[in-house]
Amino acid sequence: MNRTVEKSDRLGEEYSVTRLPSGLRLWFLPKRGFAKKVAVLGVEFGSVHEAFTTAGSGEVRRVPAGTAHFLEHRVFETDRGDAFDLFERLGAGSNAATGHTNTTFFFTCTENFYPALEILLGFTEKIIVDEEMVEREKKIIIQEILGYQDSPDWQGFTGVLQGLYRTHPVRLDISGTVESVSEIGADTLRLCHGAFYHPSNVDLYVSGDLDEQELLEFVLRAHSAERGGGKAEPVPHAEAPGAAAKYAAKYMDVPKPRIFIGFKELFGPLDGEGLMKRNLSTSILLYSMFGGSSDFYIGNYRTGLIDSSFSASFRGEAEFAYTVISAETDEPARLRDAVLGRIASARGEGVPEKDLARARRRLKGRFLRNWNSPESAAFSLMFYAQKGASPFAFERILDSMAPEDIARRIDDHFDFANNCSFVVES
Amino acid sequence: MAVGPAAGDSTSFEHIGLGGGVNLHLRRTGRFKSVLVEAVISEDLSDEASMTALLPAVLRRGTAAFADLQEIARHLDNLYGASFSADVMKVGERLMPYFRIDFPTPALAGADGDLLGDCVDFLAEVMFRPRLEGGVFLKEFVEGEKTNLVSQIKGLVTDQDHYTAQKCIEMMCRGERFAQYEYGTVEDAEAITPESLHAYYSRLLETRPVDVYVVGDVDPESLSRLMRKSFPERKYSPVPLRETEFIAAPSYEKTFYEEMQIEQARLAIGFRTGVRYNDPALPALLFFNGIFGGFAFSKLFKTVREKEGLAYFAGSQIERSKGIMLATTGIDASSFGRVMDLVRGILDSMRAGEVSREEMDSARARLMSRFNSISDSQTAVINMHLEGMVNGSFMEIGELLESIGKVSAEDVAGVARGVRLDTAYLLRPARKAGGGGGAA
């Protein structure tokens, strides 16, 4: 077993990561004195993994949109009953979420940590599913989808991704559509569970006042069997340049229109540090240009073009990266012009170095807060680990970035050909 | 002036009176990487809610030392990304403006200068040294924030779950102050002027106590010295706050319907619980709510979602200061009758004592875990104390845990017999012109 430890003197924290014989990686950050204990299971299976080759067969399988999310729902059914109930009987609260690239399950508790951990680990072992269960779950998921259809923010967010991406499955709604979900059957779920919930495709993040040796021994016992096969290989996706649509709109009964201005970025392969560097430099850039202390934000807040709903955020993964700038505004067209104008001037003149320095100092202070509690620590470990970077490398990378590295992101990231504006209005 | 630490429990604060109605509550702990300072002004929820809600929004626009939003935002960036928020919170029939700053523990940030002093002073600056023009707030700030407040109130309809819950409360508590939405009404917001808001602000400062909570690695002596320096002497003649009106049971059951252009119907059902914060039956009410709809193993979630597949979410929560419970779900409008029958059935069964040992054990374990871990969260310890303040009595964690340990199934049935359905509010999709059949 390969165990590595990283320590941050400044944070006063250290964590270890151990690769178990089954292939599962165990991340542990002790938090002495806290009553709460947290375990998070991260499965590398998200909505973008709609085509993959299973280990050994080499055959490409395709599954309907919303499959990862559907599977997340069904994994809670265990041979001992509903996992929600099992957790609660132990006093643990639990939940799960599906994103573009990952599915996450977690519980928090103060007592009975190990019995709860056993339930969580069981999610990777097997899935109990038949057609009747699938049909019942469909009714629930369709209600969930209908709920999202009433949310202007969710509609705007998925709308702009569909406007940006021509073929990449990040354009698909994470929970699928009423139509795609109805195509999912028990065999689809079994196939995906076997393919993606393989220990070598799963990470476990634990934090709390726990003994590492005891934890390790428990996980080894509860998760000892070396499972055959291996993880599935997702089919990589290429994305052609140019947005699928320059403008798009959806009509909903909203008192004030909302605009979602997106940019997609196309790029070559990046390693973990490269990914983190790109994420940090883009965040600093976006904050300098559009953050709460920027000239753009302040000027347009004062005239009432935007309110505090204005936000600009970047999402960068190994295979896709995009920015979405969104706001409620009475004049979406004017706001769009203002945002694109700000980007055009930054492309010409750059961003003042003192603004970048302030953004950097802010980010540094905020990073500390990630380690405030067992919950935030476990999720922070996961956030960085899923990017393939060391969680404590943050500061070193932040310090190593030259202003030019950040300025270069303006040209690399903001390509007007890769821009789409999506408006939700009545 | 120090009152000294309250006895025993793990969430207790050290209370330091600073005079002039300012109370400092410090919980010194080295476990967090940041320090949270939150100042709360106690105020009644009233038909002035818009005024109460607008005040923090205007105060955070500019101060004597930091002329506008940009100067404030840059100052906060330089304080290692200290995050600052100013808003109102509704607890029972109080609507309390709060000002919260959260900054890295100075030693960890490697901060140059006095980060703690700067942050405490900034909080006081926003609360007590606003930017004025002719003795009142700037017109630009007031008008701008009025517009934002109005669009916030109007925007509630875009969050249908929250909207339906608020409408249910409004109809259920008609004639009670609790019916007020925490941001007030469009009409009231529009009528506010720089003069009226400033007069309200002056009255608030003269008559209402300010409680400042600090949770983090902070030395009590330097903190009280900093506070004395930054918080001004004020003319303070307190006016008693009103108590939250408690109605044990509704006079009759009501149902309201509204239509909107949406895909999914939302249902909120309001109950009077018959038990409020200071009641010895409170722990039993916590069990009742958990088993009824509060936890994932609850009867409501099990029946409506797992068994009948009628909804994605279905749950309940209690407002302990007011003595009400709200159950909410998102369904197909045609299931409305069925869901109401199920809800009544669940309540009847709990009144008849149909609570299993397993349900009791699960609820007990969840509640124990929740209250045992309060001190793990900076905001949770503060909120717990605030709730006690609103209700004029403080729950001691140790005692609470002890009573949770003793609650019996019969106690839960007893509480259930006092819970009364008051108001159902159904927000349903408007019929679309031209038909064309909805989704499956």
In this predicted structure, the answer to whether residue B6 has a pLDDT above a threshold of 90 is no
Q: How confident is the model at residue B433 (pLDDT cuts 50, 70, 90)?
A: low
Active site residues of A: 72
- Of the residues A368, A371, A392, the best mutation for testing chain B's interface (the one with the most B CB atoms within 10 Å of its CB) is A368
Q: CA dist B205 to B85, B199, B390, Å?
A: 19, 10, 18
Distance CA B247, CA B272 (A): 7
| Chain A touched by B144 (CB under 8 Å) | yes
Q: Which residues of B touch A34 (CB under 8 A)?
A: 31, 373, 376
Q: Which residues of B touch A111 (CB under 8 A)?
A: 365, 368-369
pTM greater than the 0.80 cutoff: yes
In this predicted structure, the answer to whether residue B434 has a pLDDT above a threshold of 70 is no
Q: Which residues of A touch B264 (CB under 8 A)?
A: 143, 146-147, 149-150
- Of the residues A148, A150, A178, the best mutation for testing chain B's interface (the one with the most B CB atoms within 10 Å of its CB) is A150
In this predicted structure, the answer to whether residue B310 has a pLDDT above a threshold of 50 is yes
Report the residue from B140, B297, B372 with minimal CB separation from A110.
Answer: B372
| Closest Cα in chain A, distance from residue B172 (Å) | 25
pLDDT value for A224: 65
Taking CB atoms and an 8 Å limit, are A304 and B144 in contact across chains?
yes
Distance CA A48, CA A64 (A): 11
Pick the residue from chain B with its C-alpha nearest to A303.
B144
- Contact pairs from chain A to chain B, CB under 8 Å: 185
Buried b (16+ CB within 10 A) or exposed e, A374-390: bbbbbbbbbebbbbebb
Taking CB atoms and an 8 Å limit, are B74 and A358 in contact across chains?
yes
Average the pLDDT over B256-269 and give the result: 97
Q: How confident is the model at residue B396 (pLDDT cuts 50, 70, 90)?
A: confident
Which residue has tokens 């608020």? B166
Report the residue from B68, B147, B376 with minimal CB separation from A373.
Answer: B376
Taking CB atoms and an 8 Å limit, are A143 and B311 in contact across chains?
yes
| Closest Cα in chain B, distance from residue A93 (Å) | 7
Average the pLDDT over B208-229 and give the result: 94
Pick the residue from chain A with its C-alpha nearest to B362.
A89
Give me the DSSP letters along A339-399. HHHHHHHHHHH---HHHHHHHHHHHHHHHHHTTSSHHHHHHHHHHHHHTTS-TTHHHHHHH
Taking CB atoms and an 8 Å limit, are B73 and A293 in contact across chains?
yes
Beta strands at B22-28 and B210-216: parallel, antiparallel or unpaired: parallel
In this predicted structure, the answer to whether residue B29 has a pLDDT above a threshold of 50 is yes
What residues are paired with A8 via a beta bridge? Answer: A13
Q: Of B141, B137, B142, B150, which is closest to residue B202 (Cα–Cα)?
A: B137
pLDDT value for B403: 97
- Of the residues A293, A305, A330, A380, the best mutation for testing chain B's interface (the one with the most B CB atoms within 10 Å of its CB) is A293
- In angstroms, what is the C-alpha Rg of chain B? 24
Average the pLDDT over B197-207 and give the result: 97
Q: What are phi and psi of B247, to 5 degrees?
A: -115, 115
Taking CB atoms and an 8 Å limit, are B109 and A364 in contact across chains?
yes
Per-residue pLDDT tens for B64-113? 999 999 999 999 999 999 999 999 999 999 999 999 999 999 888 887 78
In this predicted structure, the answer to whether residue B436 has a pLDDT above a threshold of 70 is no
Cβ under 8 Å to A: B residues 339-358: 358
| Chain A touched by B388 (CB under 8 Å) | no
Q: Which residues of B touch A152 (CB under 8 A)?
A: 158
Q: What are phi and psi of B261, to 5 degrees?
A: -80, 85
Report the residue from A144, A147, A304 with minimal CB separation from B147.
Answer: A304
What are the residues whose beta carbons fall under 8 Å from the beta carbon of A157, sequence distance 6 or more? A260, A324, A326
Angle A169-A174-A176 from CA coordinates, rounded to 5°: 90
Average the pLDDT over B235-262 and give the result: 95
Contact A173, A66 (CB under 8 A): yes
Cβ under 8 Å to A: B residues 103-132: 103-105, 108-110
Cβ under 8 Å to A: B residues 244-263: 260-263
- Of the residues A135, A280, A372, A424, the best mutation for testing chain B's interface (the one with the most B CB atoms within 10 Å of its CB) is A372
- Of the residues A78, A146, A300, the best mutation for testing chain B's interface (the one with the most B CB atoms within 10 Å of its CB) is A146
Q: Pick the residue with more confidence: A85 or B6?
A: A85
For residue A283, give the amino acid letter: S
Contact B345, B334 (CB under 8 A): no
For residue B89, give the amino acid letter: M
Per-residue pLDDT tens for B131-162? 999 999 999 999 999 999 999 999 999 999 99
Q: Which residues of A touch B145 (CB under 8 A)?
A: none
pLDDT value for B11: 52
Mean pLDDT of chain B: 93
Taking CB atoms and an 8 Å limit, are B366 and A111 in contact across chains?
no
Taking CB atoms and an 8 Å limit, are B104 and A369 in contact across chains?
yes
pLDDT value for B262: 95
pLDDT value for A291: 96
pLDDT value for B439: 36
For residue A103, give the amino acid letter: T
| Chain A touched by B67 (CB under 8 Å) | no
Low-confidence ranges of chain A (pLDDT < 70): 224-226
In this predicted structure, the answer to whether residue B235 has a pLDDT above a threshold of 70 is yes
What number of CA atoms fall less than 13 Å from residue A377's CA on the CB side?
30
Pick the residue from chain A with its C-alpha nearest to B112.
A361
| Closest Cα in chain A, distance from residue B136 (Å) | 19
Cβ under 8 Å to A: B residues 313-342: 313, 330-332
Q: Which residues of A touch B361 (CB under 8 A)?
A: 89
Per-residue pLDDT tens for B404-415? 999 999 999 999
In this predicted structure, the answer to whether residue B217 has a pLDDT above a threshold of 80 is yes
pLDDT value for B432: 66
pLDDT value for A158: 96
Q: Which residues of A touch B306 (CB under 8 A)?
A: 82
| Closest Cα in chain A, distance from residue B11 (Å) | 12
In this predicted structure, the answer to whether residue B435 has a pLDDT above a threshold of 70 is no
| Closest Cα in chain B, distance from residue A150 (Å) | 6
What strand order describes the sheet that includes B254-260? B254-260, B420-429, B265-272, B324-331, B314-319
In this predicted structure, the answer to whether residue B9 has a pLDDT above a threshold of 70 is no
Taking CB atoms and an 8 Å limit, are B263 and A362 in contact across chains?
no
Q: What interhelical angle do A403-413 and A353-369 show, nearest 10?
A: 100
Report the residue from B80, B110, B151 with minimal CB separation from A307.
Answer: B151
Average the pLDDT over B252-258 and give the result: 97
Taking CB atoms and an 8 Å limit, are A142 and B440 in contact across chains?
yes
Taking CB atoms and an 8 Å limit, are A364 and B81 in contact across chains?
yes
Q: Which residues of B touch A178 (CB under 8 A)?
A: 439-440
Report the residue from A301, A359, A372 with minimal CB separation from B69.
Answer: A301
Contact B115, B103 (CB under 8 A): yes
What are the residues whose beta carbons fall under 8 Å from the beta carbon of A25, sequence distance 6 or more? A17, A18, A19, A202, A203, A204, A385
Taking chain B, what is the end-to-end CA distance rounded to the nearest angstrom?
Answer: 67
Taking chain A, what is the end-to-end CA distance rounded to the nearest angstrom?
Answer: 59
Which residues of B367-409 form beta strands (DSSP E)? none
| Closest Cα in chain A, distance from residue B320 (Å) | 21
Average the pLDDT over B189-204 and give the result: 98
